[in-house]
Amino acid sequence: MTRASEPKVDFALALAHGLTPDEWTSILSILGRPPSFSELGIFSVMWSEHCSYKSSKKYLRRLPSRAEHVLQGPGENAGCVSIGDGLAVVFKIESHNHPSFIEPRQGAATGVGGILRDIFTMGARPIASLDSLRFGPLEDPKHRYLLDGVVEGIGGYGNSVGVATVGGETTFHECYRGNIVVNAFNLGLVREEGLFLAKAAGLGNPVLYVGSKTGRDGIHGASLLASAEFDDSSQAKRPTVQVGDPFTEKCLIEACLEAMATGGIVGIQDMGAAGLTCSSFEMASNAGTGIELDLDRVPQRETNMTPYELLLSESQERMLLVAAAGQESRLAEIFHRWGLEAVVVGRVTDDGRMRIRFHGKHVVDIPVDPVAKSSPELDRPVREPADLRERQKLDLPSLAPEADLPGALAALLDSPNLGSKAWIYRQYDQLVQGNTVLGPGGDAALVRVKLEDGTPTQKGLALAVDCNPRWCWLDPYAGTLAAVAEAARNVACTGARPLALTNCLNFGNPEKPEIMWEFAEATRGLADAASALATPVVSGNVSFYNENSGRAIHPTPTIAVVGLLEPWERHATSFFSAPGRAIVLLGRTREELGGSEWLALRRGLEAGHPPAVDLDHERRLAGLLHAAVAAGLVTSAHDVARGGLAVALAQCAIAGATRIGAEVALADGIRPDALLFGESTGRVIATSARAEELVAMARAAGVPALRIGTTGGARLRIGPPAGAAWIDAALVDLHAIWSRALPRRLEAA
C-alpha cells in the first residue's frame, strides 16, 4: 500500500489546525514530546470549541440541572427525565448551522441523524422531533434555496427513519443572511432501568465498531467548519459536510435497541463530531479507563485511508460500543441481520491511556483525561456592546399610531414570520408511530406515550421550542427569560406540566467581547428562568462562530421545554374548539411595543426594550392552565406571542380544521396599536364553557383573567367595549392571507 507521507508536525501546523499557541504548549507538556500527526489531529478536534466548550464551560456550570425527576443531566449524550411508572424520556437539541448553510440538504439531514443517535445511544427509542430554523429574507433567492433544501433534508431523513416531526418554529431575519440556524430536537422513550451511558468499563471488554463503513467525509467538520466563522471562501469547506443515509440509521436504531435488550452491552456512544476519536476518548474518560484500538480493523469504504483520516472522519451512522466479554458474537449477529457492520476494533484497558495501532505500529499513545477532561477552559473578556443603549431607545409617545389597524393585521398575517408554516411541516411525516395528538401548527405538540410492546398509556408529552432572537439582541438577559417562559407557557397551554428543558445557544464569535457579553447575559437569563419555572436544564449544545464576514447573527438561545400531561385525553387545543364559548384573556396587557413584529414591519424599527417578563406570574399561569385543563374548564388555550393579541386571536380562529370566528371587546386605556399588536408576555387566550369558574380559579391563583368575548360565526371582530370595531374581517380572507404567506413567496421563484 502506498501511504501518503505525513506532514511534519510543528507549531505552524498546529496553528493551521486551529490550535492556539497556549494549547500547543500544553500539548508539549502533556506528552513530553511533539505529537504525531494523528495525535495533533486528535488534540485539534477534542480541544475545538465545538467539542470542548472551552469558551462556554464557565457559564454552563451555573445552569440549574438537578431535580428529583432528573435521571441524567448535562454531560452525557442527552438529558433524561423520569415521567413516572418506571418510564423516562431522553431529549436534546443540537445545532447544524454551518453544514446546512454550505450544503442545506445534507447539512440538515445529518443534523437530524446526529441528534437521533444521541437519543438512541442512551437506550431510548426516538419518538418525536422538533426543529427550529432561522433564515435570511425570502426575497433573497439563496434563502429560498436554503429553506427548500433544509426542509427537504429534515424531511428526507426524519421521514425515512420513521420518527415523527411534530412541531417547530421558523423565522426570517436579515441577520441570518450570511449564517442560517438549523437546530434539531429529538425525544426518545426508555424504561428507567434501560438507560445506557457512554462508558468504556470493564478491563479487557471488547470494543465494537457498528454501523456504516468509514469514509473520508466530514473530516474536521467539528474543528474547521463548526468552530470558525464564515467568510467568502467558506463554500470551499463543502467537503467537511457529512453525507447521511437514513436507511442505515433506521436499521441502526432497530439493531441497537435489540442489542441493548440482550443485556450484553456495557456502554455505547455514537460517533458524531470528531468521529472515532471523540467517542473513544469520551467513553474511556467517563469510565476512568483506557482503550486500545486497532485501526486496521475499522470497516472502510475507501482505500488507502490514513490513521489521521480514520480517526477524524465524521462518516455518519456509526457507533462505538463496549460489550461484556464473551457477548461480542451474539451482538454482532444482531447487527449483521440488519445489514450493518459489527467488528471488534479494540479492548478496554486500565491504564488511562489511548493507544491506537495502525499497520502494527502505535500511531497514538496519549493519556485520556488530559485530552477529554482537562481540555482548556477560557475566561474570555466580556464587554457590553457600545450601541446597546441606542438599540433600546424607543420613545413611544412620539411613535405615530397605526392608522390602518385591519391593514396591519393583514400585513402581519402575511409576513413570513407569522404566516402559516404548513408549507414546511406538510413535508414532514407528523404521524408515524401513531401517537400524535397535537401536531405542528399550534403552541406545543402533544404525543401520547406507547410502551415498546405497543401498549398505550395515559401519559402524554407536550413539546415546544421557542426563541425571539430580536428580543435577545435588544436585551439578551430579558430575551432569554422570555424564550424559556414562552416555551414553558406553550407546553402549559396543552394542559401539561413543564418538566425540564434543553437548549441550543447560537451565538457569534466568542473571541469578541461583545458576543461573549451576550452569551453571559443569555446564560444568566437561562439560569434564572429555569430555576424560577422549575424546569432544570438537562442537556444542551453551544454553537459559536455564527458569523459571516464579521457580522454576527442575533443571539439565538433556542429553548425546548418538555411537559407531561396525564391523562393525555384531557388536553386543550391552541385553536378555538367550539362556537359559543367564552373567551378569557389570562395575564395583563401593558403598553409595550418594543421589539415587536408590528414595530419592525410597520415602522421599520427594531428598537426598545423587549416586554417585561414576570417569572412568578409565569409559574402561576402554568399551574393554573394545568389545573384548569384537568378540571375541564379550558378547552382551548393559545399563547399570545409574536404579533400580539390580534394575531393570536386570528390564529385561534383560522388555524383549526374548522374555522370558528369570534367577537371580542378589549378595554380601552392604552393605545389601540399596543393593545392589538403589543407583545406583553405571560398572556394566554383561553376558551371555556364555564367561564365564571375559570375566572374564579384564575383569581384564586393570582392570575389576572378577563372575559373578552365569545367564539362563533365566520368573522373576527375586535373592538372597544362601545363604538366601531377596530378590526372586522371575514375568516376566509384572513385564512387566505395567512396560508399563502410562504407559498406565494416560494412559488413565485
Partner 1 sequence: MFAVVQFPGSNDDRDARFALKSVLGAAAELVWHQRAELPAGTQAVLLPGGFSYGDYLRCGAMAKYSPIMAAVNRFAQAGGPVLGVCNGFQVLCEAGLLPGVLVRNHHLHFVCAFVHVRVERAVPIFTSRARVGQVLRLPIKHGEGAYCVPPEQLDELERSGQIVLRYCEPDGSVTPAANPNGAVANIAGVRNARGNVMGLMPHPEHAVEPAIGGTDGLVILGSLVDAALRRGVGA
For position 426 contacting partner 1 by CB under 8 A, the verdict is yes
Q: Which of 20, 392, 427, 739 binds partner 1 (CB under 8 A)?
A: 427
Q: Candidates 206-214, 256-264, 449-457, 709-717: pick the segment binding partner 1 (CB under 8 A).
A: 449-457
Nearest residue (CB) to partner 1, 429 versus 521: 429
- Chain-centroid distance of CA 542 in Å reads 10
Site for partner 1 in 602-621 (CB under 8 A): none
Catalytic annotation, pick one of 17, 96, 617, 626: 96
Nearest residue (CB) to partner 1, 112 versus 293: 112
Q: Candidates 150-158, 310-318, 370-378, 542-550: pick the segment binding partner 1 (CB under 8 A).
A: 150-158
Q: Which of 48, 327, 433, 710 binds partner 1 (CB under 8 A)?
A: 433
Q: Candidates 130-138, 185-193, 211-219, 427-435: pick the segment binding partner 1 (CB under 8 A).
A: 427-435
- What number of chain residues touch partner 1 (CB under 8 A)? 36
For position 455 contacting partner 1 by CB under 8 A, the verdict is yes
For position 186 contacting partner 1 by CB under 8 A, the verdict is no
Q: List the grid coordinates of 252.
A: 441502526
For position 377 contacting partner 1 by CB under 8 A, the verdict is no
Q: Does residue 495 contact residue 630 with C-beta atoms inside 8 Å? A: yes
For position 569 contacting partner 1 by CB under 8 A, the verdict is yes
Q: Which of 6, 31, 87, 162 binds partner 1 (CB under 8 A)?
A: 162
Q: Candidates 197-205, 420-428, 676-684, 721-729: pick the segment binding partner 1 (CB under 8 A).
A: 420-428
What is the 3 state secondary structure string of 690-723?
CHHHHHHHHHHHCCCEEEEEEECCCEEEEECCCC
What's the half-sphere exposure (Cβ side, CA atoms, 13 Å) at 22? 5
For position 425 contacting partner 1 by CB under 8 A, the verdict is yes
Q: Does residue 134 contact residue 556 with C-beta atoms inside 8 Å? A: yes
Taking the complex as a whole, the smallest distance from the CB of residue 565 to partner 1 amounts, in Å, to 12
220 belongs to the catalytic site:
no
Q: Candidates 129-137, 149-157, 214-222, 592-600: pick the segment binding partner 1 (CB under 8 A).
A: 149-157
Site for partner 1 in 218-257 (CB under 8 A): 245-248, 250-251
What is the spatial distance between Cα 222 and Cα 276, in angstroms, rounded to a whole number?
13
How many C-beta atoms surround the C-beta of residue 381 within 10 A? Answer: 11
Report the C-alpha dihedral over residues 197, 202, 204, 209, rounded to 10 degrees: -10
Nearest residue (CB) to partner 1, 281 versus 338: 338
Q: Which of 99, 114, 149, 155 binds partner 1 (CB under 8 A)?
A: 155
Q: Does residue 170 contact residue 642 with C-beta atoms inside 8 Å? A: no
What is the 3 state secondary structure string of 248-273?
HHHHHHHHHHHHHHCCCEEEEEECCC
The amino acid present at 325, given as its one-letter code, is: A
For position 333 contacting partner 1 by CB under 8 A, the verdict is no
Q: List the grid coordinates of 104.
A: 442545506
Element (H, E) at 490: helix 476-493
Pairing of strands 497-506, 537-543: parallel
Q: Does residue 180 contact residue 101 with C-beta atoms inside 8 Å? A: yes
For position 749 contacting partner 1 by CB under 8 A, the verdict is no
What is the spatial distance between Cα 392 and Cα 521, in angstroms, rounded to a whole number?
15
Tell me how far apart the 2 most distant CA atoms of the chain are, in Å: 89
Which distant-in-sequence residues (6+ apart) come within 8 Å of 251 by Cβ?
Answer: 338, 339, 340
Per-residue contact string for residues 654-683; x = within reach of partner 1 by CB under 8 A: ---x--------------------------
For position 38 contacting partner 1 by CB under 8 A, the verdict is no
**Which residues in 205-215 are b (16+ Cβ under 10 Å) and which e?**
bbbbbbbbbbb
Q: Does residue 397 contact residue 382 with C-beta atoms inside 8 Å? A: no
For position 630 contacting partner 1 by CB under 8 A, the verdict is no
Nearest residue (CB) to partner 1, 339 versus 632: 339
3-class state of residue 317 by DSSP: coil
What is the spatial distance between Cα 182 and Cα 101, in angstroms, rounded to a whole number?
9
What is the spatial distance between Cα 348 and Cα 293, in angstroms, rounded to a whole number?
9
What does the DSSP 8-state code read for residue 149?
Answer: H
Taking the complex as a whole, the smallest distance from the CB of residue 165 to partner 1 amounts, in Å, to 9
Q: Candidates 257-265, 332-340, 469-477, 512-520: pick the segment binding partner 1 (CB under 8 A).
A: 332-340
Q: Does residue 529 contact residue 63 with C-beta atoms inside 8 Å? A: no
Q: Candidates 69-77, 432-440, 515-523, 673-681: pick the segment binding partner 1 (CB under 8 A).
A: 432-440
Q: Which of 450, 551, 603, 744 binds partner 1 (CB under 8 A)?
A: 450
3-class state of residue 522 by DSSP: helix
Is it true that the peptide bond before 567 is cis, omega within 30 degrees of 0?
yes
For position 436 contacting partner 1 by CB under 8 A, the verdict is yes
For position 301 contacting partner 1 by CB under 8 A, the verdict is no
336 belongs to the catalytic site:
no
Nearest residue (CB) to partner 1, 445 versus 641: 445
Taking the complex as a whole, the smallest distance from the CB of residue 257 to partner 1 amounts, in Å, to 12
What is the spatial distance between Cα 123 and Cα 107, in angstroms, rounded to a whole number?
25
Nearest residue (CB) to partner 1, 254 versus 679: 254
Q: Candidates 77-85, 404-412, 430-438, 555-563: pick the segment binding partner 1 (CB under 8 A).
A: 430-438
Q: List the grid coordinates of 683.
A: 398572556
For position 635 contacting partner 1 by CB under 8 A, the verdict is no
Say how many residues make up the chain.
749
Q: Does residue 281 contact residue 198 with C-beta atoms inside 8 Å? A: no
Taking the complex as a whole, the smallest distance from the CB of residue 333 to partner 1 amounts, in Å, to 13
For position 456 contacting partner 1 by CB under 8 A, the verdict is yes
Q: Which of 338, 575, 576, 738 binds partner 1 (CB under 8 A)?
A: 338
For position 437 contacting partner 1 by CB under 8 A, the verdict is yes
For position 77 contacting partner 1 by CB under 8 A, the verdict is no
Taking the complex as a whole, the smallest distance from the CB of residue 425 to partner 1 amounts, in Å, to 8
Q: Which of 161, 483, 496, 601 binds partner 1 (CB under 8 A)?
A: 161
Taking the complex as a whole, the smallest distance from the CB of residue 435 to partner 1 amounts, in Å, to 7
Phi, psi of 49 (to 5 degrees): -55, -45
Of residues 268, 284, 266, 276, the one with CA closest to residue 351: 284
Question: Which residues in this chain contact partner 1 in the complex, by CB under 8 A?
Answer: 152, 155-156, 159-162, 245-248, 250-251, 337-339, 425-437, 448, 450, 454-456, 569, 657
Where in the sequence numbering do the catalytic residues fall?
50, 96
